[in-house]
Amino acid sequence: MSAQPQPRRLENVQTDRGSVPVYATGTVEQPWDSYSAADHDVWRRLYARQREILPGRACDAFLRAQDAMGMTPDRIPKFSDLNAALGAATGWQIVGVEGLLPELDFFTHLANRRFPVSWWIRRADQIDYIEEPDLFHDLFGHVPLLMDPMFADYLEAYGKGGVKAHGFGPEALMQLARLYWYTVEFGLIRQPDGLRIYGAGIVSSKGESIHCLESAAPNRIGFDLERVMRTRYRIDTYQKTYFVIDSFEQLIEATLPDFAPLYARLAGQPEHAPEAVLPADRVLHAGTQQAD
Ligand code: HBI
Ligand code: FE
């Protein structure tokens, strides 16, 4: 049985991720007592499955933080418990929401060190894939790195940049959405002992956790802010390109400067296809783009 009621759908908006539903805004108290045994079981199965494959694939900071904040497979965590650990580590808080928020609401939460988490979890028949961010994706995928001081600062700076970008129009917002996609959702990081995952869209997916590191198909390219902001992305397949950072410090350094001159420079410049490899790229791996 799924968690009820389902979020209230307000409208659909067109983005380069396709048509995306926007839900009722506002934060909600996590209705923890209303989770069914089946809901807890979905959490348990997903948690166990990911933690089995993530050592040696997810970055050390992610795995360490997950343990430090007390996430376990036993049951769906209480937001209030996680908030105690988060607050002490970096001052971030999670707030319950119905689902996707309008961009400005989302950015405003991040700018104030609040991360919106869907309160409901997917059904058992959606274990492998769900289009909308549910509690497992948000909590398991996004929340652990909020314990990391550098990543915590990056996400706040991103939110502040997003609030400002609203004054620059749809092109700037699309470029910022690409930055989010290729870092927070699908980013890879270079550790001394090899490439690792930090993106929430990857660590919450078994298939992509393996594909992004082990498949010859996708490109793996050194992170460059302007390159990323010009690159379209796919929402219907594994990524064609992963961008690799050297440290979370690199991300915060790239994101702190005012983006206004950047938007001016990028205006009217051609976009890059999701699978493009360019002469100026720092190529770690040029993908075959063949199914494997
Ligand atoms: N809302 N709850 C929620 N979670 C997201 O990840 C999210 C969102 N609204 C907008 C949004 N992401 C995207 O526009 C990002 O590109 C910023
Ligand atoms: Fe996400």
User: What does the pLDDT look like over 169-221, one tens digit per residue?
Assistant: 889 999 999 999 999 999 999 999 999 999 999 999 999 999 999 999 999 99
Ligand 1 site, CB within 6 A = 97, 100-101, 103, 106, 116, 133, 177, 180
The residue nearest atom 3 of ligand 1, judged by CA position, is: 100
Spatial separation of the C-alpha atoms in residues 201 and 205, rounded to whole Å:
7
Residue 7 scores a pLDDT above 90: no
CATH class of the domain at 27-285: mainly alpha
pLDDT at site 88 = 97
pTM: 0.91
List, for residues 243-271, the tens digit of each pLDDT value.
999 999 999 999 889 999 999 999 989 99
For the cut 90, the answer to whether the pLDDT of residue 4 exceeds it is no
Which residue has the least CA distance to atom 14 on ligand 1?
Answer: 103
Centroid of ligand 1 to alpha carbon of 28 (angstroms): 17
Ligand 1 centroid to residue 103 C-alpha, Å: 6
Average pLDDT over residues 101-128: 94
The domain locations on the chain are 27-285
Write the pLDDT tens digit of every residue in 135-147. Answer: 999 999 999 999 9
Task: Grade residue 131 by pLDDT with cuts at 50, 70 and 90.
Answer: confident
Does the annotation mark 204 as catalytic? yes
- The reply, when asked if residue 249 is annotated as ligand binding, is no
Please report the pLDDT score of residue 144 as a whole number: 98
Known binder of ligand: residue 166? no
User: Catalytic site residue 40?
Assistant: no
ipTM of the complex: 0.96
Distance in angstroms (rounded) separating the CA atoms of residues 87 and 290: 45
- Cα R_g (the chain), whole angstroms: 18
Those residues with Cβ within 8 angstroms of residue 286's Cβ, 6 or more apart along the chain or in another chain = 219, 277
Q: What average pLDDT does range 162-168 have in this prediction?
A: 88
pLDDT at residue number 3: 44
Has 137 been annotated as catalytic? yes
Nearest residue CA, atom 6 of ligand 1?
A: 100
142 assigned ligand-binding residue: yes
DSSP secondary structure, 12-74, as one string: EEEETTEEEEEE--S-B---GGG--HHHHHHHHHHHHHHHHH-TTTB-HHHHHHHHHTT--SS
Look at residue 2 and tell me whether its pLDDT is greater than 50.
no
pLDDT digits (tens, 9 = 90+) for 37-83: 999 999 999 999 999 999 999 999 999 999 999 999 999 999 999 99
The owner of tokens 């961008």 is 243
For residue 167, what pLDDT band results from cuts at 50, 70 and 90? Answer: confident
Q: What is the pLDDT of residue 11?
A: 63
